[in-house]
Chain A
């Protein structure tokens, strides 16, 4: 997956776990928590969905890497290499 696809993948996961949030206008370099209501339970869900959809494992120690969309891209790029974007699952 490339950068755009990873961002789409994360936005799609957020839509699944928090259908009432608007992901359209999310900025890439601002902490997700500052833009929409996401608490630590929601971050766990992002991680669990990454695992369910893409088989990617993220240990608790690394949750902080997912704080922004840019952070997600940097951290997940190697793990998502060669994987296919799944949206609307």
Chain B
């Protein structure tokens, strides 16, 4: 094979790209993963600042199940990548909660806690909630041909109390809705399972050892990773099928199979194809990380994750202001059953943000806006955890601008386009979508996306393509 010719090219070394790469390399395909940045991991990466290593996004690995549990997304993923459960070195959450104004529902890696709290706070909904859970357990959420349905509308077939509906939507939208004020029903089902029926854990040492494992696996199978290798555009043959990519430095690489994790509108831009404004998500975030001089538990909070709204109304939409402090996610990364020797408290708070407003700021007002947003968010979140300011050793913050810079996502989105392409089709022959805009989110979800799209578009043979 010519040196610049590959069986498959993967755009992006995030979770989905690395997972796809492992699958392809495992079966002897010549594959290259191309990453624009110096580091891999995408939205779940790491960086160093002031001599300290930070994870960019890690709150929780969702989909946690105990060792030996079969047929769940985590078990399937590990089997497909041939990684053993023990290698992940997972530590379980303590417990987490949703706070909707004055209503609190706790949940943990045993589903019973949520069922109990729902029954206590919404006694009239106890049986209806059980029926909703049954539906969630049995629904086929992976039918790529099924029409898109509103989760709100589906949930209303079971539950009457708008506050319970709202409370359930808070963590689910926060961990994966690209749509304002709602989420697709199949995504709701997938996330409900991954958050409530399965659970949260954290790989010991954070995301870096996890990424090291993936990369080692990929390289051991013969895969090639190129960093600082941004794709500038997709190349086409005479029949308008993708035939490879051109990198920012002018290098051209060829393949009849290009898998892109850059996002749908972003990939279309690389292909020179039009998209509409409706393809770009409207939701962006700011996140604050504080390293503390003592543990979160010592400061009075032993919950792992707290999803909060200050009022009984959620409002999952782009704010009219730089940030929206009335809803957010508080993660105490030290509240996992971990034996990390270095046990600083670490507090993360994520809030909704308006991309356009952040991008309109010049450098000095941008810095001032960060300081102001940080203190407003900390004030709002203190009621649901604690005020970290007196105990801060170090801190950092990212804004929609940072997101845009590091993900290339138009609009600084995290969860990408509101219109997911479940079959991975991009509309261009030989070019397929993986990761965020194929529809599966989170670490386990996006990796499964990479795996299933690699299976479908690069490994599985049909009679038709065997002949060609």
Contact = CB atoms under 8 A, between A and B. Distances in A.
B28 interface: yes
Interface residues of B, number: 20
A41 B459 contact: no
A37 interface: yes
Q: Is the interface of A mostly helix, strand, loop or mixed?
A: helix
B238 interface: no
A88 B466 CA distance: 28
B460 A60 contact: yes
Given A44-B460, A59-B461, A17 B79 contact: yes
B368 to A, nearest CB: 51
Contacts of B94: none
A26 to B, nearest CB: 16
A44 B82 contact: no
B44 interface: no
Nearest to A42: B79
B462 interface: yes
Interface string B434-468: 00000000000000000110010001111100100
A45 interface: yes
Contact of B466 (A45, A52, A57): A57
B460 A45 contact: no
Contacts of A42: 79
Given A18-B79, A20-B68, A48-B27, A41 B455 contact: yes
A60 B71 contact: no
A60 B27 contact: no
Contacts of A37: 70-71
Nearest to B75: A37
B71 A39 contact: yes
Contacts of B53: none
Contacts of B70: 20, 37
A51 interface: yes
A61 interface: yes
B80 interface: yes
B343 interface: no
B248 to A, nearest CB: 34
A44 B28 contact: no
Contacts of B80: 41, 45
A39 B75 CA distance: 11
Interface string B53-84: 00000000000000010110000100110101
Contacts of A17: 79, 82
Given A20-B68, A48-B27, A52-B28, A59 B462 contact: yes
B313 to A, nearest CB: 41
Interface of A: 17-20, 37, 39, 41-42, 44-45, 48, 51-52, 57-61
Interface of B: 26-28, 68, 70-71, 76, 79-80, 82, 84, 451-452, 455, 459-463, 466
List the 7 closest pairs (A to B, CB-CB), nearest first. Answer: A59-B463, A37-B70, A48-B27, A60-B462, A59-B462, A59-B461, A60-B460
19 contacts: A18-B79, A19-B84, A20-B68, A20-B70, A37-B71, A41-B76, A41-B451, A44-B459, A45-B80, A48-B27, A48-B459, A52-B28, A57-B461, A57-B466, A58-B461, A59-B462, A59-B463, A60-B460, A61-B463
Given A41-B451, A48-B27, A59-B463, 15 more contacts: A18-B79, A20-B70, A37-B70, A37-B71, A41-B79, A41-B80, A42-B79, A44-B455, A44-B459, A45-B80, A48-B459, A51-B27, A60-B460, A60-B462, A61-B462
